[in-house]
Amino acid sequence: MKARLLVALLVLPPILLALWAGSHWWALVIFTVATLGGLEYYALMTQGGYRPYRMAGMAWLLLLIVANWLPHVVSLSLAITLGFILTFTLALFQTERPILNWAITGIGAVYIGAMLGQAVALRLLPNGLEWVFLSLAITMLNDTLAFYVGITLGKHKIWPRLSPKKSWEGTIGGWIAAAITGYVVVGFTSIPLSPWLGALVGLLGGILALFGDLTISMLKRQVGAKDSGTIMPGHGGMLDRLDSLLFVIPFVHQVALLVVRFGG
């Protein structure tokens, strides 16, 4: 518990400072965490007996983030096309389960690159700073309250096959915290939503955070790993910290796009 808190106190301030500083600094943070997460993913798949094209997958992953950051330089369609061509071409030279290993490679690149890349695209939108902060706040408060409520009150397991410790009590506590967070953040920022719509965004984000968490749990169980890595004591690996955010960020990004399109 102490290790989790210490790591959070050390890591969170520079992340928030980069978010506040602007899109270039924020993009650097996203490139860093995406690289660490991608390396963990391909290491997990290798541990599970698969043979992903690690270097090609990492190149595709980072190109997808570039496409979200600099769409006037690399369009998303170009990034997707180049990634497919590169990885399919490599599959031609592999004799053992080429399609399976190609799929493992592509899933990792798109899962991390396309989903996390939207954190960069979100920062570039009007009120981007507040939108990203909303995403982070929803995710962190949901996960934190779900954890503490779960360990103190949790009795009814929600999905033992994927996450034996996760309970309905903790999950619902996290959802309530996420809804309150959405209400408060929208109420005190310039995000052009009513606080009650902010609460709805928070609640839906909390629900998606659960599935993001369970997705990483499924991947780890598939390959027999407890954590995705050991980079953060008390937290596990980078993917263990990104799991919920990988579902919440794209959702909030799409909400923000709708608000921009229809003028708030």
pLDDT tens per residue across span 72-111:
999 999 999 999 999 999 999 988 889 999 999 999 999 9
From the DSSP assignment, how many helices (H) and strands (E) are in the chain?
A: 11, 2
Number of domains in the chain: 1
The CA distance from 186 to 207, in Å, is 18
What's the pLDDT score for residue 45? 94
What's the pLDDT score for residue 241? 86
**Region of 38 on the Ramachandran plot (φ > 0 left; ψ -120 to 50 alpha; else beta):** alpha
What's the pLDDT score for residue 66? 97
The CA distance from 103 to 98, in Å, is 9
Alpha carbon distances (Å) from 110 to 43, 81, 179, 220: 16, 12, 29, 18
What's the pLDDT score for residue 233? 57
Q: Residue 181 sits in which domain range?
A: 2-261
What's the pLDDT score for residue 9? 73
Residues forming a β-bridge with 189: none
pTM score, whole prediction: 0.91
How do strand 163-167 and strand 157-159 relate by DSSP bridges? antiparallel
What's the pLDDT score for residue 65? 97
Token pair belonging to 131 = 């939108």
What's the pLDDT score for residue 111? 94
The segments of the chain whose pLDDT lies below 70 read 1-5, 7-8, 230-235, 264
Alpha carbon distances (Å) from 84 to 31, 66, 152, 174: 21, 16, 47, 38
Q: Which residues contact 68 (CB under 8 A, 6 or more apart)?
A: 76, 114, 117, 118, 120, 121
